[in-house]
Amino acid sequence: MQNNPAQGRAPGAVSTFEAMKRGFSGCCPHCGEGGMFRAFLKVADEGPGCGEALHHHQADDFPAYVVIVIVGHILVPLVLLVETHIAPPFWVGMTLWPAAVIALSLALIQPVKGAIVGLQWALGMHGFDQAKKERDALAAGLVPAAE
């Protein structure tokens, strides 16, 4: 992974955006290897490739709030557009929109949760603070790399 020193990060450090991108893809924010989730919304205790502790995350309800905001911003304008310009029969609206809400929400909830876990990991929130301090010290060359 390339690193831009102009951004003020130590060499080898993973940016917050990269960690969130990895999490969004269901990959470990630390090494980028897949398998962050051991079930649909259950985060694995450790990254499967590197053993990075992931059990510290406290995503709680935040992924659901983010999904509601995203789905709302997609579907509300679409509903207004379709209902005002096409005006389909009542049963179509009562079938189509709830199905769209459910499908979009299910499609987004895991990636959004992964991105939030990646964000917490990158920022050293909750129990991730010690791991972040160790990463920062390693990247700054204050601690010799293991192996």
Residues that bind Zn ion (CB under 5 A): 28, 30-31, 47, 49-50, 52
Measured distance CA(26)–CA(34) in Å, rounded:
6
CB of 53 to Zn ion, least distance (A): 10
Measured distance CA(77)–CA(86) in Å, rounded:
14
CB of 33 to Zn ion, least distance (A): 5
Instruction: Decide whether 28 or 43 has the Cβ nearer to Zn ion.
Output: 28
Instruction: Decide whether 29 or 63 has the Cβ nearer to Zn ion.
Output: 29
* Amino acid of residue 19: A
Name the burial class of residue 105, with classes exposed (0-12), middle (13-18) and buried (19+) by CB atoms within 10 angstroms of its CB: middle
Instruction: Decide whether 31 or 101 has the Cβ nearer to Zn ion.
Output: 31
Could you give phi then psi for residue 115, rounded to 5 degrees?
A: -65, -40
Measured distance CA(139)–CA(137) in Å, rounded:
6
CB of 20 to Zn ion, least distance (A): 15
Instruction: Decide whether 49 or 111 has the Cβ nearer to Zn ion.
Output: 49
- Three-state SS for 37? strand
CB of 125 to Zn ion, least distance (A): 18
CB of 47 to Zn ion, least distance (A): 3
Q: Structure tokens of 20?
A: 């969130």
Instruction: Decide whether 52 or 120 has the Cβ nearer to Zn ion.
Output: 52
* Amino acid of residue 38: R
Measured distance CA(45)–CA(135) in Å, rounded:
19
